[in-house]
Structure 1
Amino acid sequence: MRTLPILIAVLLSTLSPDVLAEDASRPSGTATVPLQDLIPLYAQREAPAAPPPMEALVKSDLTGRLTAEALLVEGHFEVEVLADGRWTQVRLLQLDADTYPTRLPTLEGATVGVVDGYLCLVTRKAGRYELEVGLAVRSSAAGAERRAQLRFGAHAAPVPLTLEADTSVFTLMEPLPSSAGEGFTVYPAQGALRVGWRAAAPVARGEKVQVRPPLEPRITEASATWVSTLEGRATLRVAYTLSLDREQPLELMLPEGHALERVTLNAIPVPAEAEGGVVNLKVAPARLGETGGALEVVLTRELGVFHLSGRLKLALPRVSWPVAELRARAHFPSVFNYRREGGSLEQVDAADAPAMEAASLPGKVLHFRQYLVAASAPTLELGYSVDISQSYFR
């Protein structure tokens, strides 16, 4: 009979004080609860939180500059991590064999480093993280040319790179639009930024540098197209062929009653606004070292509903540069006959009209032309009346 207390004492001595205290504080036993009381308790239980739609959102801004053998990139990232309580890996940039990190930040609650060939932010805490990184992208050489590329990670949307390049030291191989000063914009293609350049040829000692005189900017030719519906809504598209050797200002004065729809420079849309009917632009050659560019302007206007007969007064924008030759074409409703009644544009026959881009546009086609336009807005006045040539009653 004395062995039972000794066995109980031995079992109690093997348990830690924390376990004994926890068992003593935890209630034990069973309880019977009526169903009508259990249902409200079951409804009040906490539902598991839904996972976020994505692990993180990334906003980035990249700038770069060229050296003789590499592209140096500075990146600013704003990362919003949505997942909390579990490890999240945000892949920002892909580091190829020729890409090396030169500067990595130290963050509170997160780590930035290279993981499986990617520049990543790793954390298990939700929140906003801002980081600055530096990268060196070593170029591959093909003769005198150098090429470098930087790929984006899976979580970072591709964004343009603002590139600083001294054109007296480097010649860019890609057609890059100029942003300001010596800055150029490199747009991503297929998830990567690609830059090509070569070093400018050194000038021999004692050799004089031949400086080309600045090219007087002008417009070698312009083509305009009017298209109007029977309800009187007209669209005017004007394309200018530019002759220039550097960035230059260009001013367009819109005709009265016209609204600016869009402007493209070298096939790239550019932001532009008409202030008081005047559009001020900065135009540049399509490629570095070339002397040609292209500008296209699209305008709209309400001509009013066509009547049985009437008169149309049309005009083109006034350009601050001289225009050597202007060709115009009008596509108006085919139920009318048209006759030129005035204006600076002269009508020409279709057979004598210069070749313009073929377009499957409806309506009757009229051709016009003007030479040597300077500091003026080309105008055209047309009279129209119902075409009864196909009527049985005359």
Structure 2
Amino acid sequence: MSTLSLVVGLLLTTADAQASTPGGTATVPLDQLIPLYAQREAPKPAPPPTEALVKSQLKGRLSSEALLVDGHFDVEVLADGRWTQVRLLQLDADTYPSELPTLEDATVGVVDGYLCLLTRKAGRYAFDVSLSVRSPGAGPERRAQLRFGPQVSPVPLALEADTSVFTLMEPLPASASEAYAVYPVQGSLRVGWRAAVAQGAQKPQVRPPLEPRITEAHASWVSTLEGRATLRVSYSLSLDREQPLELELPEGHRLERVTLNAIPVPVEAQEGVLKLKAAPARLGETGGTLEVVLARELGVFHLSGRLKLALPRVSWPVAELRARAHFPAVFNYRREGGSLEQVEAATVAEAASSGLPGKELSFRQYLVAASAPTLELGYSVDISNSYFR
């Protein structure tokens, strides 16, 4: 077997290699030397100057007994292939993590009294944590301290404090976001506060009662040619609790039915006065509805005549009242008196949408208080569409 042999002298340059490898020469065939040369170990890369870089933002708010902190951390881990522990915050005896994140390829937890990020893979990890820093001791004055870990640069704390509830123990600069800036001192954030009013001296706030009133009322008269008329009045109530309400019915009217918040109410008028208890439609709301239906005999319509109409007198003030009259179409009607003022008649489309027969007349009155709105109408036969004029 003819093989080109080559004598190669291996010069060992590193001190470790010189100590562990004996010196000398060896004769190796060329076809075996080339694979050995290709398999030589590459030099290891230099380790990073630091294991990780950390950016952080902290926000806080006060409670009666603790400082509540929300922190955002952006950690850039440089070391790879081995475990890296980044100490973020030091947890004293009165500091408790209330919310910790779940990360991929990393873990955030408490190790040896520190809030730490643990990973063995290089990369960027962004996450949020929440802490509760309780104030030791008792009494109205409270103090809390939060210390940074050795691998985190101290940053200010943006503190939200309601000065009507809490008084800060020392003046703090205010930031543009309507929060106070607490700057670290010797790697720690310290906050002191006390309640503006002692806890035992606080009295429950009682909201003054809402003055009951009627924001809007809608009334409608509907009459046949024989004079049988129906009056329907709907009231929009404004109140925050059960309140007494009285309605004095107009003379000559009889009560058909009453509904409160769309529920029929079994009440009867006593000597023309209807007394009931009004309440909001739902608990905690400030609105309700009341509907009253009355009936009356106007008498047979003649060729001409006068109609005297009236609405119930309500014990609550009425901000705005709108009324409509639907009377036989064979007559012309004109307002001749009363507190209700006539307004422009509704359009044909609006009249048709109401579904009520006859001619429609519209009226309104503002600021009705302790009085019964009235209306006087004169009527005469309408001959505008007759053949003989």
Q: Which category describes the TM-score, using the shorter chain as reference length?
A: 0.3 to 0.5
- Bigger radius of gyration, 1 or 2? 2
